[in-house]
Amino acid sequence: MELLKQMEWRYATKKFDIHEKVSDDHIALLKRAIQLSVSSYGLQLYKVIIIKNEEVKQKLKSASWNQSQVSDASHLFVFCNYTDAKPENIDDFMRLTAEVRDIPLKKLQRYGDFINEKLSEKSPTELYYWLKSQTYIALANLLSACAVLKIDACPMEGFDAGQYNTMLGLTEKGLNASVIVAVGYRSSEDETQRLPKVRRPSELLFQSL
Amino acid 74: pLDDT:
98
pLDDT higher than threshold 90 for residue 1 = no
Which CATH class name applies to 2-192?
Answer: alpha beta
Amino acid 199: pLDDT:
96
Q: What is the pTM assigned to this prediction? A: 0.96
Q: What's the mean pLDDT in 107-134? A: 98
According to DSSP H, which parts of the chain are helical? 2-9, 24-35, 54-61, 68-72, 87-101, 109-120, 124-148, 161-167, 202-205
Query: What pLDDT digit, counting tens, does each position of 60-80 carry?
Result: 999 999 999 999 999 999 999
Average pLDDT over all residues of the chain: 97
Q: What's the mean pLDDT in 179-183? A: 98
- Shortest CA distance to 181 belongs to which of 150, 140, 149, 148? 140
Q: For residue 134, which amino acid is it?
A: Q
Query: What pLDDT digit, counting tens, does each position of 13-58 carry?
Result: 999 999 999 999 999 999 999 999 999 999 999 999 999 999 999 9
Confidence of residue 186 (pLDDT cuts 50, 70, 90): very high
Give the three-class secondary structure for 67.
coil
pLDDT higher than threshold 90 for residue 169 = yes
**Contacts of 73 by beta carbon, 8 Å cutoff, 6+ apart:** 13, 16, 57, 154, 182, 183, 184
Residues of the chain with pLDDT > 70, as a percent, come to 100
Residues of the chain with pLDDT > 90, as a percent, come to 100
